[in-house]
Amino acid sequence: MLNLERLRTLDALARHGSVSGAAAGLHVTTSAVSQQMTKLEREVGQQLLAKNGRGVRLTDAGRLLADHAARILSQVELAQSDLERQRGKAVGELRISAFPTAMRGLLPKALASLRTHHPDLRVSAVELEPQAGVQRVVRGDLDLAVVLDWYNKPLPMPDGLTKAALLDDPADVAMPADHPLAGRPEVDLEDFADDEWITWTEGEFCHEWLMFTLRGQGFEPRIAHRAEEHHTQLALVAAGFGVCVVPRLGRDPMPAGVRTAPVRHRVRRHVYVVWRADADRRPSIRAAVEALRAAGAEAV
């Protein structure tokens, strides 16, 4: 009889394309992956992996079994959903991620609601950037991820996921209190073409969005500093080291010495939650989405 955990290992190998990638996705060592695959090959009596340079590739038998493994794991998810639905209430364990400002501005209220209305549901939360959250939902490491994209730059979304909108999050330009534009009721991004900018870490989705947007306004921004957290960016603004774009979700309290102004042509993030389509019938998923939507309605 095929072992489910070994099939899960094979599925991870097929999706990630390497032993190290599968190990990272499953949160185990590369040795553990290799051991599971050796045992699976012994179970089926066929070679599933072959050497490919310094890595490995799936054999024809490996690809065939990996296709079956993906369907089997999907059916297991559906079975769990049906059993949970039959009980008629949200129970068991729910794993969720959120990007930093949503972790601060949405999750506490949503988690409190779930604890009050669904006391038999055990929820664990982790802070992750949107791309990482999506990847872990696809891999099955998480049940839901709160993610974002920008009004002019969507977040790439793999097949097999369902999403629900939570809120639109307006963003303003933050500047030092003595900036010449401080106090204006509205500003344009190009007004800050001569300023130094504070942005996110290079390669992050929000940094790429900012560069794309500012270049679209006809200027190449001068990046002075990079920081992942908005509160760190705002501390640098307060000290007079540049300007930044700061969304409203989870940003209070604002430090002294910072002024914000809305952008004339509205800049906003779309915040939504994603989960695997084959888990759509789980009462715990529906309960979490409802709690997150309620928290989003009060957030900004």
Q: In terms of domains, do 208 and 256 share one?
A: yes
Please, which residues bridge with residue 272 across strands?
A: 147, 165
Strand ranges for 177-256 from DSSP E: 196-199, 222-226, 244-247
Each of the 300 residues of the chain gets a pLDDT tens digit; together they read: 788 888 888 888 888 888 888 887 777 788 888 888 888 888 888 888 888 877 788 888 888 888 888 887 777 777 776 666 656 577 788 999 999 999 999 999 999 999 999 998 999 999 999 999 998 898 788 999 999 999 999 988 888 899 999 999 999 999 999 999 999 999 999 999 999 999 999 888 999 999 999 999 999 999 999 998 999 999 999 999 999 999 999 988 899 999 999 999 889 999 999 999 888 888 899 999 999 999 999 987
Burial of residue 57 (CB within 10 Å: 0-12, 13-18, 19+) is middle
Distance CA 82, CA 281 (A): 7
- Token pair for 201: 């870490």
Distances (CA, A) of 75 to 25, 68, 71, 80, 156: 20, 11, 6, 9, 26
Q: In terms of domains, do 80 and 210 share one?
A: no
Last residue of a domain, one of 33, 57, 84: 84
User: Are the C-beta atoms of 99 and 247 separated by less than 8 Å?
Assistant: no
Residues in contact with 295: Cβ distance below 8 Å, sequence separation at least 6, in sequence order: 106, 107, 109, 110, 113, 166
Q: In terms of domains, do 19 and 58 share one?
A: yes
Q: In terms of domains, do 136 and 276 share one?
A: yes
Q: In terms of domains, do 116 and 61 share one?
A: no
Domain total in the chain: 3
User: Are the C-beta atoms of 197 and 223 separated by less than 8 Å?
Assistant: yes
Q: In terms of domains, do 160 and 276 share one?
A: yes
What is the pLDDT at residue 194?
96
Q: Which domain holds residue 58?
A: 4-84
